[in-house]
Amino acid sequence: MLRSGQRAAKGPSGEGHKGDGYGAPRIGARGLGAQEMSQGVLGVIVESELFRSRRSLLHRGRRIGTDERVVVKTLREPHPSPALIAWARREFELLESLSGVDGVLGVHDFGRSGETVGMALEDIGGLSLAELTRESRLPLDEVLRLMSRVAQTLSNVHAAGVIHKDINPSNIVYNRGTGQYRIIDFGIATLLAVEDAPFDDSRAREGTLAYI
């Protein structure tokens, strides 16, 4: 688990970070080979692609043997460096430490996935707010109710000693049918205990520029 004194995560390259986001599913698991498709990734049969960023791939699938719906997040880079693996594991451990906070994405497993590593995550069957609002606007009263709940979740995350550092529409997943929501992508989150860590790279930008 995370310990006080760990440095904030900027990603292994020290470059700015772009959130994961959940887009509309695309059938077929591009980026995963036929062997991974047939054998399952982290005990999951992958069914559709949700999103791909510069570092990560997100897919929807179901657990082998139980049919539980999950999201699989893997690193795009084959044979990732130890630094990249540590970065991914840190996000998993941080999410695991927030498992008691309502509104934070739940995690199941972390492990090897073919030639890379990844984690199995909770799936509430929703899409990111960025995707939901791309074609139409949500009713104002619905947005206000949702943002009030998200603000309470962030308050509880801060009370647990964590700062997300990249809250934007791509990192809030919402299921309009059930009313469930989750804050996702803690890849650059930091602990409050180390927020005063020395500034060491003036070229690095953390977070999404429009929402900083």
Q: What does the pLDDT profile of the chain (212 residues) look like in tens digits?
A: 333 344 444 556 544 455 677 665 543 444 444 334 434 668 888 899 998 888 899 999 999 989 899 999 999 998 999 999 999 999 999 999 999 999 999 999 999 877 889 999 999 999 999 999 998 999 999 999 999 999 999 999 999 999 999 999 999 999 999 999 999 999 999 988 754 545 455 455 455 655 54
Between CA 140 and CA 143 the distance in angstroms is 5
pLDDT of the residue at 5: 40
Show the beta-strand stretches assigned E in 32-138: 44-52, 56-63, 69-75, 107-113, 116-122, 127-128
pLDDT of the residue at 167: 96
The alpha carbon of residue 45 and the mean position of all alpha carbons in its chain are separated, in whole angstroms, by: 19
Between CA 12 and CA 88 the distance in angstroms is 9
Annotated catalytic residues are 166
pLDDT of the residue at 11: 58
Length of the chain: 212
pLDDT of the residue at 23: 64
Between CA 49 and CA 186 the distance in angstroms is 20
